[in-house]
Amino acid sequence: MVESEKTWHNLPDRVSSRYLIDKLSRRAVFACAAISLLVLVAIVAFILREGLPAFIQIGVGEFLFGAEWSLKGQEFGILPLVLGSVLATFGTLIIAAPLSIACAIFLAEVSPKRVANVLRSAIEVLVGIPSVVYGLVGMAVLVPVIRKLGGSGYSLLAGIAVLSVMVLPTMTTITEDSLRAVPRGYKEAALALGATHWQAVWRVTVPAAKSGIAAAFVLGMGRAIGETMAVYMVIGNVFAFPTSPLDPARTMTTHILGQIQEAAVGSLHLRALFAVGIVLMIFILIFNSIAFALRRRVQ
Amino acid sequence: MSFEITTKDLDVFYGEKQALKKVNLCVNEHQITALMGPSGCGKSTLLRSLNRMNDNIAGVRVEGQVLLGGRDVYAPEVDAVEIRQRVGMVFQQPNPLPKSIFENIAFGPKVLGMKNKTALEEIAEKSLRAAALWDEVKDELKKSALALSGGQQQRLCIARALAIQPEVILMDEPCSALDPFSTLKIEELMQVLKKRYTIVIVTHNMQQAARVSDWTGFFLMGKLIEYDETAEVFSRPKDKRTENYITGRFG
Amino acid sequence: MKLSPKISQKVAWIAMWIAGVIVFLVLIGLVGFVFLRGIPTLSPGFLSKPITEGGILPAIIGTIYLVLLTLAIAVPLGLGAAIYLAEYAPKGKLTSVVRYGIETLAGVPSIVFGLFGMALFVIVLIGTQSILAGALTMACLVLPTMIRTSEEAIKAVPAAQREASLALGATKWQTITRVVFPAALPGIITAVILCVGRAIEETACLYATLGLSLLTPTSIFHGARTLSLHLYMLATEMPGDRGALVAQAMGTAVILICMVMLINFLAHHLSSRYMSRIRGTGSCEF
């Protein structure tokens, strides 16, 4: 067959700059990925570089278990902060966990579709509201109410209440997802054996979803321990061991926030703040790893 | 210049698994060559190694040669992109891009750098006519290609492949997702196209191989068992395994 | 005494309803309270006056500066990284380590980013708290979101479309820009919108990097404050009449909530459009 007959239209020259562009672009996106990775490494490296010397200078035991933080005496102990964070986090879990399980069951099993949709969009809005707005409403509404119970109102309890509202959406959404991921057959088997709907949900669906629900709780705790502004606005931020929920307290995050502007460059004070950041990151890392493992188990 | 395809001792591995074993095949130009065999026999792997589409799958290793018009497709200086311009491909599932009918046809010429609107329109018309789709879509070239029926989509994919002026068209079970009527249309189209193009078709369907092809290769477990003129393969198979397959004793 | 199954069913169902209603009321109460207290503050003057005269104009401008600069840094970088991870990265150990790292970075608290940003951008690189330092810090914070969300969007584009393009002789990059990117675009826009949302709401990472200036910024080397940061300052640190300051804070909160709701709406709208597009049922021209 004749060549010209085959060529019934002329295409542009086949060798062109597009090969070069292809190669350059590949390098460019690789560079983007490399820089992103570098940012990740830089964050960890910087925090460690600034923070680790503080552990050595202050002494690990002194730092973790000391109960004094004084610039004059150059004493840096963070036990009250760790305790404050832990109490705030577990307090949040105690309030938010039952509520979010109940709300998730409500969404997945109980409520009519339209009610569920309204509630779901409400939850979506809650997720997006800036944390300072939660703090503001906490200051304006919760603090005066708690003041009536005793104290100034700026208290651990106020912090826990604000945090509970903030983590509720995340925990509810993930819990609902894990409830929905349970195969329908499980529940139907229970129903076929004469269980009531509630018995089937509570004894079959919820236990089957327990890894996912646990992951939801751990992620909620991770958010609670890392939250700063909203807590700062209501917790009173007093460096002391709280003896009751009505006492003011200070968490690791609010401590960093409160002192970050004051610490002089190169001072032990600033390095000690980074060291607080390291302790905080370790908590987050533990929570994340647990959540990661739990979610992997679900899959 | 000839456009026959020859493979020499072609081995393809997916990681540890060997998908093709020492395949030697010679595809004649302007004929339809059918590759048949049971699922997983390597026929699609062979097809995809002819235009280096296997390059995109992680862990693929190719040994041996694929000669296209005498040139080794896997030679280090050869670019896979260039090969794919000379070897068009039609897939099992019609895969039009989520663009208009016109844009689907113009895609190939455009990536080659063609910008002239009139020329693109001309190519679109010629390609659609050649794929026997023009009359059905000429008034709605701006419509989404996804709105076409399955059979029309597959013919659009053929038209799209023609627009880059390939020398060879590879078809990977092009009718397996289509109804009998659309299948018939595509088979008729293949008979027209073979006057201009060399066609290699992978098929699951023995009747189709017998109906449309000039040459037939039978694959089993990564090996080319038998390769001959279609009439010969179906009337006087030389290998017992081919005979078992075409008489329906397995697969 | 043990409750009969029927009664426990009733009781449990009522309890679940109560939980749902509580959560709903918390939202309505929260938003309602803010609007009730904040709307009286809203006036043209509130939006257009400087902070010293009780307005929020500098904070609005500061927010716009910060959001735009953050996007200018994080979007190209994050998108490039997402393209690399989705299209080029070999499927090995290293890639999954990188992915896990990005995942972890997404969980690092905002205040830790603040520490990092202060130590690197403010002290080492720029020398002063400024919009640039704040935006760099914020870009680090939103980068994981940008990468993850766009990578998901890119991966959701069916492989058949990539093969179609490659088989027609397109280079890999042409395939990415002409086929993958348009198909993933709504998902990528969703990622950008999520980043905008975070840049608007995150505060702790900006407290020691953005500079907290009361004045309207005129360059990226000036200090500024975002609306969220301004709200925080009004509620806690600014000197003056507490009642008036809290009223201003409530007004700022109304603006913030409206912005966030708008962003939520946009993200939602786009992502549902995106799904229909991927399934091939939606319109194909974007």
What's the pLDDT tens digit per position in A76-124?
989 999 999 999 999 999 999 999 999 999 999 888 889 999 998 888 8
Q: How far, in Å, CA of A253 to CA of C95, rounded?
A: 32
Question: Facing residues of B18 across strands?
Answer: B13
Per the prediction, chain C carries an average pLDDT of: 88
**C25 part of a folded domain:** no
In this prediction, residue C2 carries a pLDDT of 66
Is the reported ipTM for this assembly greater than 0.90?
no
Give the A:C interface size as CB pairs under 8 Å: 261
Instruction: Look at residue C274 in the predicted model and tell me its pLDDT.
Output: 60
Interface of B with C in 139-178 (CB under 8 A): 144-146, 157, 160-161, 163-164
Query: What chain A residue is nearest to B197 in terms of C-alpha separation?
Result: A6
The confidence score (pLDDT) of residue C280 equals: 46
Distance separating alpha carbons of residues B52 and B80, to the nearest angstrom: 6
Question: According to DSSP H, which parts of B113-205 are helical?
Answer: 117-130, 134-137, 150-162, 180-193
* Proportion of chain B above pLDDT 90, given as a percent: 32
pLDDT in tens, B236-245: 988 889 988 8
Contacts of residue C84, defined as CB under 8 A and 6 or more positions apart, other chains included, come to A29, A30, A32, A33
Q: Which residues of B touch C168 (CB under 8 A)?
A: 84-85, 88, 107-108, 111, 160-161, 163-164
User: Residue A44: closest CA among chain C residues belongs to which residue?
Assistant: C116
Q: Is the pLDDT of residue A203 over 70?
A: yes
pLDDT of C253-262, one tens digit each?
A: 999 999 988 8
Q: Categorize the per-residue pLDDT at A4 as very low, low, confident or very high, splitting at 50, 70 and 90.
A: very low
Determine, for residues C169 and B144 on separate chains, whether the beta-carbon distance falls below 8 Å: no
Task: Tell me the torsion sign for CA atoms C67, C68, C71, C72.
Answer: negative
- Each domain of chain A, given as residue ranges in start order, spans 18-65, 78-298
pTM: 0.87
B neighbour chains, 3+ CB pairs within 8 Å? A, C
Phi and psi at residue B18, to the nearest 5°: -90, 120
**A2 has a chain B CB within 8 A of its CB:** no
Instruction: Yes or no: say if A57 and B150 are a contact pair by the CB < 8 Å rule.
Output: no
Query: Is C162 in contact with B107 (CB distance < 8 Å)?
Result: no
Helix (H) or strand (E) holding C72: helix C57-83
- Give me the number of domains chain C comprises: 1
Q: How many CB pairs under 8 A join A and B?
A: 37
Which of the listed ranges A183-192, A249-258, B9-18, B31-40 does the model predict with the highest average pLDDT?
A249-258
Listed ranges A24-28, A70-74, C219-223; the one with the highest mean pLDDT? A24-28
B126 neighbourhood in chain A, CB within 8 Å: 8-9
Least confident stretch, A11-20, A33-42, A71-80, A286-295: A11-20
- B111–C178 C-beta distance less than 8 A: yes
Top-confidence residue, A167 or C264: A167
Which residues of chain B neighbour A1 with C-beta distances below 8 Å?
A: 30, 195-196
Q: Which domain holds residue C184?
A: 38-278
Supply the pLDDT for residue C284.
37
Residue B239, Cα to own-chain centre: how many angstroms?
A: 26
Output the six-digit token pair for A280.
């905080």
- Contacting residues of C for B161, CB less than 8 Å apart: 167-168
The dihedral through the CA atoms of A230, A236, A238, A244 has a sign that is: negative
CA angle, residues C41, C47, C52, in degrees to nearest 5: 85
Q: Which residue of A has its CA nearest to C75?
A: A32
Mean pLDDT score, A45-55: 91
Radius of gyration of the CA atoms of chain C, in A: 23
Task: Using pLDDT thresholds of 50, 70 and 90, give the confidence band for residue A1.
Answer: very low
CA distances from A123 to A11, A110, A131, C174 (A): 56, 17, 15, 41
| Mean pLDDT confidence for A62-89 | 90
pLDDT, tens only, A143-163: 999 999 988 889 999 999 999
Superfamily assignment of B5-96+161-246 in CATH? P-loop containing nucleotide triphosphate hydrolases (3.40.50.300)
Residue C48 distance to chain B (closest CA, Å): 46
pLDDT band of residue A14 (cuts 50, 70, 90) is: low
Contact C182, C174 (CB under 8 A): no
Token readout for B57 is 């799958």
Using the Cβ of B108 and the Cβ atoms of chain C, whether some distance falls under 8 Å is answered with yes
Which alpha helices (H) appear in B61-116, and where do they start and end?
80-86, 101-111
Would you state the pLDDT for residue B54? 85
- Angle, alpha carbons C189-C180-B104 (nearest 5°): 120
- CATH number of the domain at C113, please: 1.10.3720.10
- Does the CB of B21 have a partner CB in chain A at under 8 Å? no
Give the contacts of C259 (CB within 8 A, at least 6 positions apart): C200, C227
Contact B34, B201 (CB under 8 A): yes
* Distance of alpha carbon C18 from alpha carbon B99, whole angstroms: 50
* CA torsion angle C193 C199 C201 C203 (round to 10): 170
The C-alpha angle A106, A108, A109, rounded to 5 degrees, equals: 70
Å between C112 CA and nearest CA of chain B: 38
CB contact under 8 A, B112 and A9: no
Cβ of residue B60 closer than 8 Å to a chain C Cβ: no
Interface membership of A19 toward B (CB under 8 Å): yes
Closest-CA distance, A298 to chain B, in angstroms, reads 28
Which class is A78-298 in CATH?
mainly alpha
Inspect the interface and report whether the beta carbons of C160 and B84 lie closer than 8 Å: no
Task: State yes or no: pLDDT of A37 exceeds 60.
Answer: yes
Could you identify the residue written with the tokens 């061991």? A241
Nearest to B126 among A8, A19, A22 (CB): A8
Interface test with B, best of A10, A11, A23 (most B CBs within 10 A): A11
Nearest beta carbon to residue B53 from set C163, C170, C183? C163
pLDDT band at residue A6 under the 50/70/90 scheme: very low
Structural domain contains residue C269: yes
Residue of A nearest to C173 (CA): A22
Which helix (H) or strand (E) segment holds residue C182: the answer is: helix C181-201
Strands B198-203 and B87-90: unpaired
The confidence band for C181, taking pLDDT boundaries of 50, 70 and 90, is: very high
Average pLDDT, chain B: 88
A9 band by pLDDT with thresholds 50, 70 and 90 = low
Q: At what angle do helices A156-181 and C5-38 cross, to 10 degrees?
A: 130
Query: Among residues A84, A82, A93, which one has the least CA distance to residue A220?
Result: A93
C46, C248, C265, C270 from C262: Cα distances, Å: 21, 21, 5, 12
Candidates A38, A246, A32; CA nearest to A158 is A246
Q: Give the largest Cα separation in chain C, rounded.
A: 77
Q: Taking chain A, what is the end-to-end CA distance rounded to the nearest angstrom?
A: 59
Token readout for C247 is 């009223």
Phi, psi (deg, nearest 5) at residue A19: -65, -40
Where are the domains positioned within chain B?
A: 5-96+161-246
Contact assessment for residue C139 and residue A32, using Cβ atoms and an 8 Å cutoff: no
The residue behind tokens 């990661």 is A292
Nearest CA in chain A to B80: A19
Closest partner CB to B196 (pick from A6, A9, A22): A6
Burial of A233 (0-12, 13-18, 19+ CB in 10 A): buried
Contact partners, residue C22, CB within 8 Å, separation at least 6: A99, A103
